[in-house]
Structure 1
Amino acid sequence: MSEKIKNRAKGAVMGAFIGDALALGPHWYYDLEKLREDYGEWVDDYTAPKKGRYHEGLNAGDISQSGYILKMLLGSIVENKGYDEKDFCRRMDNDLFSQIDGTPVSGPGNYTSQSIRDTYRNRVINNLQWGEFESHADTTEAIERTLGITAYYAGDLKKASKNVYSNTILTQSDELLASMTVAFNAVLWMLINGYPLDEKISGRLMEEVKNKTLPFHAVTGDGLAPPKKGVSEPSRLGRFASPDALLTPSFIVRAVEDPGISIEPAWKVSLVYGMPCAIYHILPSVYYLAARFKDDFELAVLHAVNSGGQNMARAMLTGALVGAQVGIDGIPGRFIEGLGEKDCLLKLTERLVG
């Protein structure tokens, strides 16, 4: 792995941790007037949660449970020199489930997401084995940890995608969600490897489908041309019936670059695509901010933080995409210095890509 790729991979991982921690205080405000009342017109740094809010009791710069799980997965990858599913599941059982009780307000970060609560219930209460149960939570929770897999496998998109899918379905079984999770990680992989987030990115991803690297089914030809009459349908390469999740990023980039389309200020992207937690609300807004502020980590992540609703997922994933574009050297030092676990996270990230 070249030094430039390492720098971008570190930027992606640290960008995710920073986005997660920046949104800790103003997390899940659907009343934007209340958000401004509690934190002012513009949140520009780490803040502690207010009394009675999500994550109450944590300090400014702390990471949430999403960050904790990402850190746990990175530790597993580093110690095993690659993704080891059995080890990850063991860590979930021993290191996370021992700290939560299946209710929303519990465990690291003082809040547990729906898919993790479902998984806890199936493993601890119902005593089911990993792979024997389902969770239909439609959030970005799996992306928030699997981005670490993609950073590690920056040299092998096929292996990255295979392991991202395998890890995703441990806690979220919906196939459409899994396809969007793999697609996001494929975009992240492209950015880590130096490809720009431009109108051509979906075309590049479709080439990887054609090359049997990404597990998507497609019948169109080059440039999404219609299939020729009499030509048999290509064999299904994976579980995903449609490559549409790979096409979204290019359309979002076109919207960013179209002078006839304006979202001002940019944080209002959450009002356009939706403030809730579902993956189909979060990813378009993430792609938008990552394309609009591709060279400015601070503006990208702060617009995500100030957008309300599920701004933690929005900021975490935006931080990963823009961190991959600017590299860790392009992230303002104050954001790294302000992290409560700065030294631990930097060391872990260095070992991941080293």
Structure 2
Amino acid sequence: MAPTLEQRAQGALIGAYVGDALALGPHWYYDLDALRRDYGDWIDGYTDPRPDRYHAGLRAGQSGQAGFILDLLAQSLDACGGYDEADFCRRLDEDFFPLLDGTPMNGPGGYTSQSIRETWRLRVGQGLPWGRVAGLADTTEAAERILALAVRYARQPADLARHCAANTALTQRDTTVMAMTVAYGCVLGSLVRGEPLDAATSDRLMALVRSGALPFHSVTSAGEDTPPPGPEAPRTAGQFPSPDALLTVSGILRAARDPDIRIEPAWKASLVYGMPCAVYHQFPAAYYLAGRFQDDFESAVLHAVNGGGQNQARAMLTGALCGAIGGIQAIPARFIEPLEHGAQRLERAGRLARQAAAQA
């Protein structure tokens, strides 16, 4: 039986938390030989971080900082009944920033990303207002939290894109990073709505672009969409210059299903697409693993983890996609039961799903 919208929404959120926690111990090993020496040939569950590594002092099943921030946004959505930027920013100011000191190896989750450190420096150190504290980090930092918005607004694609763009802009201002982040949110929202992840995903999203629902610019369509000769019309605030971030996913899905294109074992997707933190490495790998293991949540996230490098983001993004495809029932209980705050997060995910389902 196909999962319900509520089950898909719960699967997306819990899948993200699971991916984040699974990579807590083996996070940021760029030397894969060292990864295998420390954790064996195949990591298949939660692990403690080593005392000389990132996240030292945390325990298996706990979240990194991405999970902490995702909690803050999910809690805000739950309390407010929808996205309230002022409420979310207040939570960052009151419940998160006082726990930081501006250095990397500090803060909830044991490590603070470049993106958050820059925002903290401008917001706390210089006292600048929200709207003037975003930095140029090219990571998936914002994507790791806006996935909650993609779940909440899955049935309202225009609002989904608008809120994801606004939330991303709080901490990241590179327009390419923003476009790829919002595109990921659009893909995830489509899966929560119940659409398949397939070679036509980009076509369905492009139809929303042409209708004006998504803020991506397209000038290559024939007929009425073709602009007249001369300068193009000015963009409005929040529009992205091209739809390429939406087109990426279907090309990768075709590759994942093409028998002539094989990445074996699948964890080597990290070597093909790149192990670093930047969005142009992380999103393609997540799309590939989710597309290849659509009916196998466990294989998808474990291959994401075992690929090393920035495996925490890779596993988190992959876990959200596969959780949305299969629903919460696709996530093994052995991943949910030991997850820190697992019961509360599952209940909150259910409430956000019901909010989403109530929207036309």
Class of the TM-score when normalised by the shorter of the 2 chains: over 0.9
Judged with a 3 Å threshold, the aligned counterparts in structure 2 of structure 1 residues 39 and 3 are, in CA distance, closer, same or farther, namely closer
Q: Is the 8 Å Cα contact of residues 42 and 306 (structure 2) preserved in structure 1?
A: yes
Matches within 5 A, 1:295-334: 295-334=295-334
In the alignment, which residue of structure 1 is the partner of 2:347? 347
Deviation, structure 1 residue 134: 3.0
What percentage of aligned pairs have identical amino acids?
Answer: 55
Match of 1:302, as an amino acid?
L
CA distance in structure 1 between the partners assigned to 2:233 and 2:250 by the alignment: 24
Moved over 2 A (4+): 224-239
Aligned residues: 352
Q: Is the 8 Å Cα contact of residues 216 and 236 (structure 1) preserved in structure 2?
A: no
CA distance in structure 2 between the partners assigned to 1:3 and 1:275 by the alignment: 33
Q: Is the 8 Å Cα contact of residues 3 and 326 (structure 2) preserved in structure 1?
A: no
In the alignment, which residue of structure 2 is the partner of 1:209? 209
In the alignment, which residue of structure 2 is the partner of 1:174? 174
CA RMSD in angstroms, aligned pairs only = 1.9
Q: TM-score, normalised by structure 2?
A: 0.94
Match of 1:192, as an amino acid?
V
Q: TM-score, normalised by structure 1?
A: 0.96
Deviation, structure 1 residue 234: 6.5
CA distance in structure 1 between the partners assigned to 2:59 and 2:265 by the alignment: 29
SS in 2 for 1:141: coil
Judged with a 3 Å threshold, the aligned counterparts in structure 2 of structure 1 residues 273 and 225 are, in CA distance, closer, same or farther, namely farther
Q: Is the 8 Å Cα contact of residues 175 and 239 (structure 1) preserved in structure 2?
A: no
5+ unaligned residues in a row in structure 1: which ranges? none
CA distance in structure 2 between the partners assigned to 1:142 and 1:197 by the alignment: 22
Q: Is the 8 Å Cα contact of residues 76 and 84 (structure 1) preserved in structure 2?
A: yes
Q: Deviations over 1:62-109 (max 9, x none)?
A: 011100000010000110111000011111011000101010011110
Q: Is the 8 Å Cα contact of residues 12 and 323 (structure 1) preserved in structure 2?
A: yes
Matches within 5 A, 1:80-91: 80-91=80-91
The answer to whether structure 1 residue 189 and structure 2 residue 189 are counterparts is yes
CA distance in structure 2 between the partners assigned to 1:188 and 1:23 by the alignment: 21
Moved more, 225-234 or 100-109: 225-234
In the alignment, which residue of structure 2 is the partner of 1:289? 289
5+ unaligned residues in a row in structure 2: which ranges? 355-360
CA distance in structure 2 between the partners assigned to 1:134 and 1:68 by the alignment: 19
In the alignment, which residue of structure 2 is the partner of 1:96? 96
Q: Is the 8 Å Cα contact of residues 46 and 60 (structure 2) preserved in structure 1?
A: yes
Matches within 5 A, 1:1-354: 4-221=4-221, 227=226, 236=235, 238-354=238-354
Judged with a 3 Å threshold, the aligned counterparts in structure 2 of structure 1 residues 263 and 183 are, in CA distance, closer, same or farther, namely same
CA distance in structure 2 between the partners assigned to 1:277 and 1:290 by the alignment: 18
CA distance in structure 1 between the partners assigned to 2:75 and 2:280 by the alignment: 29
Deviation, structure 1 residue 241: 0.5
Q: Is the 8 Å Cα contact of residues 106 and 112 (structure 2) preserved in structure 1?
A: yes
In the alignment, which residue of structure 1 is the partner of 2:357? none
CA distance in structure 2 between the partners assigned to 1:111 and 1:228 by the alignment: 48
Q: Deviations over 1:313-352 (max 9, x none)?
A: 0000000000000000111111101202212211221222
